[in-house]
Structures are given as structure tokens and as C-alpha cells.
Chain A
Amino acid sequence: MKKHKIEDIFSSMEDFSSVPPPELWGQIEEKLDKPKKKKRAILWWSAAACLLLGLLLPSILYFTGSPQNNNLNNGGFDTNSVVLDNNKNQHNKTTSDENADKTLDTTANEVVSTKEQLDNQQPNQNQENAVAHSDSKSKETNSNSKSEDKINRNTPNQNFSNQNFIASEEKTTVKSSAKSPLEKNKKTANKGISEERIAFGKPSKFNSTAQKQLSNSIFDEQFIPKNNKNLALNNNNAFVNNGNSKQNLNNPKNNNAEKIANTVGKENSKFGMPLTKQDSVQLAELQNLEKGILPLEEKKDKKEKKDKKLDLKDRWALAVFAGVASSENTKNEKTLGNVNDSKQSNSYGVKTKYNISNKWAVSSGFKLNELGQSVANVSYVSAKGNTLFVPGVAASNNAASVAGNSEYILISNSTKEALKSDNIQSGKLDQNLRYIEMPLEVSYSVFNRNKASINVNTGGFVGKLISNNVALDGHNIGQNVTANDYVYGSTLSSTVQYRVYKKTNVFVEPAMNYYINPLNNQSFNQFQWGLNFGLNVSF
């Protein structure tokens, strides 16, 4: 008797096949219908989470991290009243500043230009943050609870609508699948399989075919020369042929097809079930095809690499994002003798990305971003506190006119000491420059495995000034006259991305921006870091 190694003895099990119980297809069908809902739910939830995170994080950071809180009440104005009136302005959307400026005298109101009033309407979002913060504690609580209420009210509605949407879709699917003629096919197939099992006679522990395949042992393989494969003499072919033999007798036309099926020899047994005539022919052809493909499988790794390279699909991606940004003073720059402080803001945008290759991509889009700075303890002279103050005249050589409003003269520290006047007040100066930016970035993929990927992005951007706002102790006093209408800058960021559903990804993107020329002849925070959260769909 010939000797065998363990591997040889078990080599017949390599192509072991067994017909699964018929009920399994039904269960698979059920499962195929279910996960969609889950996946869609995940998609919606992740989108909502991203949006919520993007919106909440800036607020949280602003309220918890801002050192400006204490300064707000130090100024000469009644901050609370200003804040409250600003809120009214926002809600009523009126152009009148009468309510907003209750604490200011009437002269001041007259000086405020109509243009400025119009400008005030736009940056209300920013003011709103300051407002909520500087308000009394009770009001803060109220406003917070209101906003929570709003969120709570909105969220269930959204969920409800989503659920409805999903439910209706599901119903449609169920309906359509229920009515589908495929149901018949399914039944037929299952019936076919069960019939085939019965046809084998013996109820096996695993299935009936396993027993029919028993003769397909290694010894059969070894003793039958390879050339004899075409004879289809082994039992496996026999059971395929048995199933069809009657039909073949009646229908000689099918003999050719049967021959083809036979030429595949025992390879057919791989599928281990008596197939219909048509299926067995197709199966035989499939086997031939598989044989042809098999050598390619050996170069699997190479092909996978090639796949990635040649993957022409999913070259484009569209992303929406929202996040928090903080403008920083990296050079210890000073305005009017005071150090510029950092300032937090929000950023939103949409961008599209084009994958040039497996590793490289370019992207561009639009982004609403804000560059800002705060300067604490800025000295100024106000018309309110000085009855002899004549607008325009006071703007002497020693005074720095940051804002385009002659109502307030901002004075540098050195001038303040020289003047030693009682009319000089100090407060916090906030400056915000909002831009619509168009970045152009190059991305390099440093990590891409399974569902996760990490890209490093760098590039430049051009921004158009859309809002220019200067506030003194939370009260808008005009615009920074030295702000450039167009800015340029460079950006460096890293995108950490995770696929949540088919072609949909969520990402987090820490970024650094450098603005080259926000202002003319004045120092301003030029460096900005940001953290964006977003959703990305490839197509």
C-alpha cells in the first residue's frame, strides 16, 4: 500500500463542498434587508454628530477658554444693556440702534452711520456669543436652556422624519420584494435544493452530498490518471449525470452541453449538488473559467496593488465640514502697546477633492472663516465721557484710529501716560475679519487601511473680506479701516478619515493657516489653528 503524508491524506478535503440547508437562503434574504436600516441610521447619526460637534465645540471653547470674560465688565459701558439690546436687534431685525444704544447718549447715536448699522446686522452671530456670555447668570441659564430646548425639539423631529423615511423605504422594499417574481425563483431554488437532498436518499449529518462524495478520496485521485478526467467516471459526476440522465435520454440535443459538463470531470463535484441541466452546463463553463483565472490568483498581491492604482472609480469626493478656529499671536505683536490675544471663531465650508493617484490628490472649495484678535486694556476716549470732545479733532497724531468710527479715539499706552487725562477709559477691543476663502490644496495619503485613512494636506488660499467688525467691550464701533479686501495665505492640515458607509466617510481635520496680509500697517493675528469635523462622500 502506498504511503501518504498527512497533507496528502487530507488534500481531498481541499475542495470539499457541501450544499447548505435550504432554509439558510431565506435567512440570508432577511438579513440582507435589515442592515440597510442600520447603515442608514449610522449615516444620519454620524452626520448629525459631526454637525453638532462642529457647532458646539466652538461655543464650548469660547465660553470656557476665553480670558475676556472678566474684562467685559471693566469697561465704561453697561455691558448687559448693550448685550440685551443687541439681542433685540437681532430678533427684530430692525435697522434702528436706539434700543441697542440705550446706555450711550443721543449724540453718539446720531454719529453712527447707516452703513454701520447695516454692518451690525451681519456680525450679530458673533455678538450673540459675547452677549450670551456677558449677560447675567440667570439670563445665561435661560438662554442655554432655551437653546437646549431648541435642540431637543429639533432632534426628535429630525429623527422622526428620518425614521419615517426609512420606514417608508423599508415598506417599499418589503412590498416590492414580496410582490417580486423573484420570490418564485427563490422558492423554486429552495425547492430544488431540498428536492435534491431528498433525491440523495441518505439523510447525512451535514448533507446528503457529502456521502455521495465519499468516493472522491485521494486514492481515487491517485489511481485515476489525469488524462481520464474527461471520462467523468467518478461518482461525483455520476450523481450529476444521474440527475439529468432521464432528461438527456428524452432530449438528445442536450448531449453536447452534457459533454461539456462532463469534461470538467470531478471539478463539478466541488459544488456538491445535483444541478439542473442548464446550471450544470454553466457550472462546467464556470469551472473552466475559474481554471483560467487561477494563475492570476497567485499574483493576488500584485493585482491588489494594481487595483488600487487603476481604480478609476471614486476619484472625486465632496466634503462638508464645520469646525472651530483660533487666531493666535505667534510673534508677540502689540496693538496700541497691548499684546494681541487669541480669538476663537467658527469655520464652515465645502470642498471637493480629486484623486490623481493612489497617494496624491488635489482639493479646492469654499470656506467661511474668521480671523480675529482681542486686545485687552485698550485706552480710548469716548464722546460719551467727554462733553468737550469734538469728533475728528481728537484724532490727533498721537491717537491711533483703528476703527472707522470717529466717536472713539483709541490711544496707545505711551500717549495715555503723556495725557494723564481722567477722560481716558480702557476696555477690550475685539476685531473680527470674516472671509470667504478658496483654498487649493495637495493631499498625500500617508495611511490607508480598511476603513481608515490619514492624509496630509498643504496648499494656499485666497480670501475675500466679507465682514469687518471692531467692537469695544462688546459694542460694535465700526470697521478696521486698514483691512485688506483680499488676503492670501498658506495652510497645512491632516485629515483623519473613517468610512462609515459604502462611500461615505467622517473625518476630523486639524489644520494650521497663515494669513500673509490681513491688515495694512498694523499688527494682527496672522496664525490660525483649526479643527474641522466633516462628512465626505466619494463618487
Chain B
Amino acid sequence: MNHFLKDDVEKYIKLCMKNDREGQLKIYQLFSPVLYGICLKYMKNEDDAKDVFQEAFVIVFQKISQYKFEGSFEGWMKRIFINKLIETLNKKKKESFFLDVFDPDTDFVEEEELEVIPMEQEKLLEYIRDLPDQYRTVFNLYVFEKMKHKEIAELLKISEGTSKSNLNRAKHILQKRILSIKNFKTA
């Protein structure tokens, strides 16, 4: 069965390599929800997410001939999307994007373990998107992409300290928001 499906996906990819619209549509149908979800997590508003989503998907189809059929195709696409998202965020910024310098005294906030009520994905997404761009980017890369600070620093061209600082501040903001919800509900 797996072989059958693998062959199918490979078939669609090969069709895409020939610029075949049917193959492109199949790939789009299969992977667009995950990839659109990523765009929503990284961009502050939905219009920006849509723009990046389109552009990144176009890049995927344009560069699909570079995919060597080794490793996850979804992973390959995700990397393209994340690069595009970061590129867009970098272009958007007018002020310095990652100005924060790591300060061990203030940035090592003791992480609280929270007792929380179940939260909806939409609510969680809202919290993430409310974060400042730089915090949100580092948080996404660290928590969801499982990247290390060194890798994040290289990708975003910032220092490891700045990456740590941004992550801690993001967590701190999220923690506060979740606690406020909890307090509100319990009160």
C-alpha cells in the first residue's frame, strides 16, 4: 500500500517537474493545509500569510526539479516555506528586527508550570500571532521546528544570545496571557 502511495506522490512530483498542472494541483491538495497552517503561525495577519503562501508555493513548483526524492517531500517544502516566511518578515521590518541583546539577568525568567484549562487551537494561534514579529519567529522555529538556538541564530543572522532572549520573552508574554485567562475564568 505504502509503495503504491509513494509511487503516487512521486508520480505527482514528476508531473510537477514537467510543469503539469494536474500534478501541481494534486500536490497542492495534499500539502496546502499544513503549509498554510505554518504561514498563519508565522505571519501576523491573514493577508500576509496568504501572500507568502502563494509565493512560497510558486517557488516550490519552480524548484521542484531540485528535489532528489530523498527525505521527506513535506519537509523539503516546509524548509522553502520557512525560508520564504523569514525573508518576508525581514523585508517587512523597517526598524531593526532582532535588536534584543541577551541579558542573563532579565531574560532568564523562571518558567512556571501552568495549570490551565484546555485551550482551543484558534486561541493558541491568536496568542502566537499577537507576539512581536521577532519573538514569534524565534518561538516558532524553536518550539515547532525543533531548531536549536545555534541554527536559529544562523538562519536569522542573529546571535545565539538574541535568539535565547527572544524565546524567553516570547514565553514570558505567552505565560502571562495564559495566566490572565486562567485567572479570569477562575474568578
Contact = CB atoms under 8 A, between A and B. Distances in A.
A186 B58 contact: no
Contacts of B1: 260, 285, 288
B25 A185 contact: yes
Given A24-B54, A217-B120, A16 B30 contact: no
Chain A: interface secondary structure? helix
B6 interface: yes
Interface in B1-56: 1-2, 4-6, 8-9, 19, 21-22, 24-25, 28-30, 32-34, 36-37, 40-41, 46, 50, 53-55
B143 interface: yes
B22 A14 contact: no
Interface in B160-174: 171, 174
A296 B72 contact: yes
B135 interface: no
B62 A290 contact: no
A10 B124 contact: yes
B61 interface: yes
A180 B25 CA distance: 13
Contact of A189 (B8, B29, B62, B120): B29
Interface string A9-21: 1111111111111
Given A1-B115, A290-B74, A32 B34 contact: no
Contacts of A18: 33, 36-37, 40
Interface stretch (A104-112, A151-159, A208-216, A521-529): A208-216
A72 to B, nearest CB: 55
Interface string B98-124: 000000000000010111111111101
B75 A16 contact: no
Interface string B119-141: 11110110010000000000000
Nearest to A220: B118
A225 interface: no
Interface residues of A, number: 71
Nearest to B79: A300
A4 B114 contact: yes
B77 to A, nearest CB: 12
Given A16-B41, A24-B54, A293 B33 contact: no
B25 to A, nearest CB: 6
A160 interface: no
A4 B4 CA distance: 41
Could you say which interface size class chain B belongs to? 35 or more
A219 interface: yes
A293 B9 CA distance: 13
A205 B117 CA distance: 22
Interface in A477-493: none
Interface in A198-253: 204-206, 209-211, 213-214, 216-220
Contacts of A293: 71-72
A206 B125 contact: yes
A206 to B, nearest CB: 6
Interface stretch (A266-274, A325-333, A428-436): A266-274
29 contacts: A2-B115, A6-B111, A6-B178, A10-B128, A11-B143, A13-B128, A15-B34, A20-B33, A20-B50, A25-B28, A32-B19, A35-B62, A180-B21, A186-B21, A189-B25, A210-B121, A211-B120, A211-B122, A214-B120, A217-B121, A218-B118, A272-B37, A279-B29, A288-B5, A290-B72, A300-B71, A300-B75, A303-B71, A306-B70
Given A3-B115, A289-B2, A297-B72, 16 more contacts: A4-B116, A13-B121, A13-B125, A15-B37, A16-B37, A16-B121, A18-B36, A19-B32, A20-B36, A24-B54, A31-B58, A186-B21, A211-B120, A288-B5, A307-B68, A311-B68
Interface of B: 1-2, 4-6, 8-9, 19, 21-22, 24-25, 28-30, 32-34, 36-37, 40-41, 46, 50, 53-55, 57-58, 61-62, 65, 68, 70-72, 74-75, 111, 113-122, 124-125, 128, 143-144, 171, 174-175, 178
Q: Enumerate the 6 nearest inter-chain pairs by beta-carbon distance, A residue then B residue, closest first.
A: A285-B5, A3-B113, A17-B33, A214-B120, A20-B36, A17-B37
